[in-house]
Structure 1
């Protein structure tokens, strides 16, 4: 008759089996952990490599941006130094065409020049300034001056409107002024008008600074700004409708502040300062 194993022996054998299973599981987990550590190290290395590559790429991007900014600055500087000069040269080339034509200013449009105190011309300028110019010239015409205002939309070459002659052809008027050897007063409101009036020799310049904060007045480039400063220094009279520009202009020359709508009231003192600046050879 077989003997059954003792209960204690069975329990001990069971514990050994359980312990062996736990040890195997532990060793397996250690191997898995080691594999995970290896994977983490590998991934960490890859991340570090990618971070270094990204840093290099960022550095290259920043360098490209810096180069792009440098090129843009150089182009802008070049553009700023040439825009005014280029437009000035183009306009003068167009105005020089007066040599190829005769003035169409009919004798009936302008009465005898000796009947006037002088000639005042407002060249092609900025449209939003036209109402102020019209008020200036109306008052001057009433004071005995022959006044011209550029108006591109009129149908005829010259139209007499309330004593002010509107014209749409700068070349034609230029030819007439030169033929008559007139040295007029130029009502200047824009720096590029200098391309026209500087063909007249040494006219008297009245610089009226537009009240609106618009850089087109003296240009977005260095050449236009320099011409603006030159006008502030050399103009016989400088007027302004905006206190903002008055503070700037007073640093350069005597300035008469004339608010919008008060142009005619300011004419007596203005004419005293302009007096003697007009020459007409009849």
Structure 2
């Protein structure tokens, strides 16, 4: 079972709708994350790279709500500034996966035959491996940087989008009015723009919101392993990794960046499940 399926089952379960309060809370969390991306300097109480050796490894308190790291830098400020890279990488990876999967799924479903068979065998091979493993292999070849991290995570999730969109294209092609349009001589491009794309946008949107959470989790995991941005640039995965050596004495260094990742992924999953329920997507 894929990580995406696990998230959907844990959060919603079959036929179980999200309470409105839960969806509103999840939306507010993502809006807060967006605010951190756009104006981190107005939200952070301290400069993220301001070193204060006399305040090193302070526990969470009034002056530093999330504590400080080994150099005395305020952890809350670093988490807020680190959200920009974490969320942008997740969004870029999701967009790449959506565009790549849409291209493969639309071509396979619309043309069928040998084209469909070849493309779907490639997709089956990609789905045979965990997405995180594919991303790890891609980032090992491409190298470490935020852009390459987004590309690696995006490519590893293309197959999920391709499979869904191809299935929806086949469903739409079997509808009576689409068959009538085909018989009447409407060209493939016209079928695509007039009938197919509007019908696959809803399921693709729901999967994109869910996929954003998965992409965030995968990119943070790779960053935790050292394949993401390098210091002094910070993201949540790197911040969590930086605190590993001080877990016994400074638990907050890894805990709060990890909580930020978990809460964001959960919020995206809840919203994605709500979009699925609203549009009747299974």
Q: TM-score, normalised by structure 2?
A: 0.24
TM-score by length of 1: 0.24
Q: Which structure features the higher share of strand residues?
A: 1
The higher relative CO (CA closer than 8 Å, separation ≥ 6) is in 2
Q: Over alpha carbons, which structure has the higher Rg?
A: 1
Between Structure 1 and Structure 2, which shows a larger proportion of helix residues? 2
